């Protein structure tokens, strides 16, 4: 009986992890909407950030009011660090999406696990712990993939935007560390998302007033695009949260990379963009290396946690 129960439980975890595929689809739709809305030429990057954050902020505020959740926190500095860094990262990403092929921009943003793996190795070496050579191979494969993507699919004018997208991915380890710190302080995920959305709303509003034309009415297409970005982002966030909360952590972390091929499919269908075979090979390398780095890193964390008990 126990083994039968264990198999059913594992199967249930796997099914719940499939919510990450739903999240990946919505994230791919979000990136496509960002590119589409930016391409209309009416809304700037900061205005897109504003609407994306505002819709999330309103959703969490209503959810907290209905369910009686408290949004007060004793750890405001931690929330501000995470929220400011996260907002800067996705502002960079949104800015780059308007100038790069959809698949390329998405892939560069999903290099975060590779940079997290580098951080993991550095921390292990500083603690004089053995660094896993498989993690090093995953990092090497990831950077080869980045080079393969940048060389054929990014021209000279697009290179600064590609570097901006890559920088957004490189901020991943710092943001990841801040979220883990908040988790250790027992801060619930809805509160983390609330402060992240609040900072993003203020940042987007200030940037729109200072650097763009300010908020205003746009064409129906642009307004639908702006509302779509925020709405789809919330659906993606909810699906991702369900996958991590009720599914297998490792499987969910790997399935998030499904956003890369889904973005490439949307890129071909919606924007009629095609990448050369070399760039597609680079995309595949980043997908595999990111997934491998995620698995190895999480296993290292599990072993470290067991040793500390």
Nearest Cα residue to 238 out of 11, 27, 15, 14: 27
135 or 100, which is more confident: 100
List Cβ neighbours of 262 (8 Å cut-off, separation of 6 or more).
24, 25, 28
Per-residue pLDDT tens over the stretch 197-231: 999 999 999 999 998 888 878 899 999 999 999 99
Residues 6+ apart with CB under 8 A from 263: 28, 31, 32, 102, 103, 106, 107
Query: Rounded to an integer, what distance in angstroms lies between the CA atom of residue 272 and that of residue 103?
Result: 12
**Predicted confidence (pLDDT) at residue 1 exceeds the cutoff of 50:** no
pLDDT the model gives residue 158 = 85
Per-residue pLDDT at 7 = 62
pLDDT in tens, 162-193: 899 889 888 877 887 787 788 788 888 888 88
This prediction's pTM: 0.80
């Amino acid at each position: 009986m126990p083994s039968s129960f264990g198999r059913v439980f594992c199967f249930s975890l796997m099914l719940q992890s499939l919510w990450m595929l739903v999240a990946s689809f919505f994230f791919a739709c979000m990136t496509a909407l960002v590119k589409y809305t930016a391409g209309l030429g009416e809304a700037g990057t900061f205005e897109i950030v504003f609407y994306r954050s505002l819709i999330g902020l309103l959703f969490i505020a209503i959810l907290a009011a209905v369910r009686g959740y408290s949004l007060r926190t004793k750890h405001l500095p931690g929330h501000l660090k995470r929220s400011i860094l996260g907002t800067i990262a996705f502002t960079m990403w949104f800015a780059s999406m308007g100038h790069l092929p959809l698949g390329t921009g998405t892939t560069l943003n999903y290099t975060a696990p590779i940079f997290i793996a580098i951080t993991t190795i550095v921390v292990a070496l500083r603690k004089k712990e053995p660094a896993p050579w498989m993690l090093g191979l995953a990092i090497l494969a990831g950077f080869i993939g980045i080079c393969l993507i940048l060389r054929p699919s990014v021209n000279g004018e697009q290179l600064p935007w590609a570097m901006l997208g890559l920088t957004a991915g490189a901020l991943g380890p710092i943001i990841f560390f801040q979220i883990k710190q908040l988790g250790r302080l027992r801060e619930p995920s809805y509160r983390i998302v609330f402060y992240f959305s609040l900072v993003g709303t203020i940042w987007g509003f200030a940037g729109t007033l200072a650097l763009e034309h300010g908020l205003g009415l746009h064409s129906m297409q642009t307004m639908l695009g702006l509302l779509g970005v925020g709405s789809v982002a919330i659906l993606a966030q909810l699906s991702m949260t369900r996958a991590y909360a009720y599914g297998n952590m490792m499987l969910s972390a790997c399935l998030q990379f499904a956003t890369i091929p889904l973005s490439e499919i949307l890129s071909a269908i919606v924007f009629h963009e095609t990448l050369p075979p070399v760039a597609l090979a680079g995309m595949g390398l980043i997908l595999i290396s990111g997934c491998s780095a995620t698995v190895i890193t999480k296993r290292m964390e599990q072993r470290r946690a067991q040793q500390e008990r």
